[in-house]
Every structure is written in C-alpha cells, then in structure tokens.
Amino acid sequence: MLNRRNFLKMTAAAGGLGMMEPIAALAKRKQPSGFFGLQPFIEEHPEAVFIIKTNVDVKTNGEAIKKVGLDFSKSVIVPAKKGVPLSTIIPIKPNITSSFTSKKHTPEQAAKFPLEYGMGIVTDPYFVEGIIEGMQGLGMSGDQFYVREVTCPWDFAPRGYVDMCWRQGANIKSFYQRDDFNGFHDDYKELDPNDLQWVSFNKSEVFKKAPYLWPVNAKNTWLLNVSKFKAHGMCLTLCCKNLQGAMSTPFQHYCGADRCLKEIESHTVKNVYARAKANYERHLAAGIPRWQKQGDLGGYTMDVWSSRTLDNVSHTPAGLSIIEGVYGRDGDGFLAGPNKGPYSDQEAWDYMTNYVIFGKDPYRVDIIGHWLGGHEAGNVGLYHIAMERGLSTVLDPRKIPVYRWESGTPTL
C-alpha cells in the first residue's frame, strides 16, 4: 500500500503539478548524514571555467544525454569530510521557457512545428535527471530536489520534466492559478505564502524586495543553475539570464523597462525611474556597445534589464552554474532563425554542439559560453555593468583560465 509520504511525493512530482509536500514535513523526514562538495580543484579555483566535450550522436538520445549528466554529477559533485550537509534541499533552475510547440499552449504553431523541433529551447531534462541520480548516489533522496521555473507550466510535461521528476521522486510545481493562457495568472499575491521566499536586497539598482519560488534562496539550500546553450536577441541566454525565472510573477518580467518596473513599483528602490535613466545616460556616454539603439532590445531597455539581472544574480548564489550544451540552438531563442527549412523560411535549428560548460562564477561561465557561441563578451552590456558594480572582474575570455574536464581531471 502507498503510504502518505510516498503519495505526497509522487503526486507533487507528477499528476497535478499543483501539489507539494508540506514544508513543515521536511524537518520530520529522516535525512542522510555526511557532506558533499565540488571536486576540490573546482572549489579551489572559483576563477576558472571548465568544459566537458561530450559525444552524443543525436538530441533525441535521452539515454546518452542522461549518462552525460550522471558522469558529470559523479565527477564534479563529490563526497566530502565537511561542506554542504547531505540533508540540504537542492533547488534546480533549468531553462524551461515556452517552446511554442506544446499543443495545449499554441495549437496553431504546434500543428506547424513538431514537438521535437523545440527541444533546443529548453534545458534537456535527461541531463538534469542524470545530475539528480548522481547526487542520490551520495546518499540523498529524490524528494530533496525541487525543479523550479515560473514560466510556461504547460510545457513541463511535453518537455519531459514531469516524467523525469516522477522517475526520480523530485518535486516540480506549476505556479499558475488559472490555466486559460489569455494572460498572466500566476501573480505572487495569488499564491500560498509558503510557495514564496522573500529576499531583501542591498546595494541594488532596482529591487528593494522580491519573492522567489520556494525553496530558491531559502536557508539550508544549495542551488543548481542549469541553463541552456542557445542564441537569443541578447546574443546568448545563459546562466545569468536563466535565474530570471526563479522569481515569481510579475517580478520576473525584466524585458519591458519602465512598463515592467511599474508592475512592481512598491518593491523597488527609491526614485527607481530617475536612477534607471541616469544609469542609461552614463553607460551611453561611456560607449557601451549598442547602447545607442532604440526599441525592444535598445540601450535603455537593456540597461534596465542588466540592472535587474545583476540585482538578481548577486542575491541568488548558486552552488554551481552550468550551461547544458549537449545540443545548442541558433536563432532568436525560440522558433525563428537564419535557416530555410521544411517548416518555415526563417527557422532556428539545433546542433550537436556537445559541450557542458560550468564553474562557480556565473559571469565567467557565461563569458566563455558566449565565446563558444560565436559572440565577443565585450558586445554584451551586462558584463560591462557587472564590472562597474564590482560583481565581476573580467571581460576578456582570454583572461579566464579554462580547463577541459575529463573523468574528474582538469587540463588547462
């Protein structure tokens, strides 16, 4: 017979997406003793970035991709005499933004583009599963893992995350209250307060206080930031941008400048609009590339986006920042791209790039990710402003020590 604990665990991971084991019950569970940490060389070199060159044949080979995640986990996250207690809760933030190929969300586009077409838009679930399974090998249990993403819960099942969490006993949850897709109905005010982790900000440019999806930023947690290697209108969307979806709606709306600031006015710093304008004018005068451009991805919009992103990253420490690039994607981050194909004259395509890029510093990981994706980090205003704010110390990828990681051994 299925006991209550297992029932709660399984239903939270699979069926309703709206159920979650009561937070109070976590303290009553029997937890493993001992510790884990990053492999000592990684721990001792926070300035370094590491690259695993994988050898997966096709993006639909889930078994091979899971093995990549499993091998990665076993060689990178290891038992330790001291460090992170094995009883720690592990929030995982993959990139599960809309792939626009889910029939429930966009039936017209889904009829045009097969589900497989949108795979490169999201972090591969088999890679994440391999990491979870590897960490369970340390003595942890599946119900210590919480997959969190604020956007597009209608894509959790089509993209394989519901089945993956069911298999591993992990928790995934939809934070949408009404499922009609005619607008945003997951506002933080509508959620159970236990679903939110509020964070107060200091030395910030936008946020004074913001709600995260529990257990992100809760005490006694260790966050895994697992982004996707894919192109975007902002060059590439990697670890720093991925954390945007760890906030509750409407706080995660970064891309609309003043329009999106208005949604959260009561939780922003004093004189936020004047500060945003002054920041933009200073950065424009300093010659940040492309800051003179107008429109949705113009300089002012990007300046406000950068400020919000830096506030977020500096207040959301990750135990490890990872770019899953077993397969990568060109284009605009979604469906459109530079290729003429069977579905459209402007298609985005996936490629077997066969990279996993990781490290402790998300800025450095992303700079190397941009370089491997064909972009110079100096063209990305975010990294200029990160240096101005003292959050990063490097812009040139050639000044970042990069190691090839093979079976737990780093080679410069």
Closest CA to 202 of 297, 269, 126: 269
> Token match 């010659």: residue?
287
Residue burial 328-347, b: 16+ Cβ < 10 Å; e: rest: bbbbbbbbebeeeeeeeeeb
**Which residues, other chains included, contact 156 with Cβ-Cβ below 8 Å and sequence gap of 6+?**
17, 96, 149, 162, 172, 174
Q: Where are the domains of the chain?
A: 4-411
Q: Is 307 in contact with 341 (CB distance < 8 Å)? A: no
Percentage with pLDDT > 90 across the chain: 76
Closest CA to 224 of 330, 83, 76, 113: 76
Q: Is 388 in contact with 382 (CB distance < 8 Å)? A: no
Task: Retrieve residue 56's tokens.
Answer: 């997966």
The pLDDT of 349-354, averaged and rounded, is: 97
pLDDT tens by residue, 205-228: 999 999 999 999 999 999 999 999
Q: Using CA atoms, how far apart are residues 139 and 34, in angstroms rounded to an integer?
A: 9
Whether residue 177 is predicted with pLDDT greater than 70 in this model: the reply is no
Whether residue 8 is predicted with pLDDT greater than 70 in this model: the reply is no
Strand-pairing partners, residue 404, are: 51, 411
The highest-confidence range among 108-117, 203-212, 256-265, by mean pLDDT, is 203-212
Amino acid identity of residue 30, one-letter, is K
Whether residue 108 is predicted with pLDDT greater than 90 in this model: the reply is no
Closest CA to 128 of 92, 103, 104: 92
Of the two residues 293 and 27, the one the predictor is more confident about is 293
**Which residues, other chains included, contact 337 with Cβ-Cβ below 8 Å and sequence gap of 6+?**
231, 329, 330, 331, 346, 347, 348, 349
The pLDDT of 290-296, averaged and rounded, is: 89
* pTM metric for this prediction: 0.90
Whether residue 12 is predicted with pLDDT greater than 70 in this model: the reply is no
Q: How confident is the model at residue 187 (pLDDT cuts 50, 70, 90)?
A: confident
Q: Using CA atoms, how far apart are residues 83 and 365, in angstroms rounded to an integer?
A: 23
Looking at residue 294, the DSSP 8-state letter turns out to be -
Burial (Cβ within 10 Å: 0-12, 13-18, ≥19) of residue 187: middle
Average pLDDT in the chain? 90
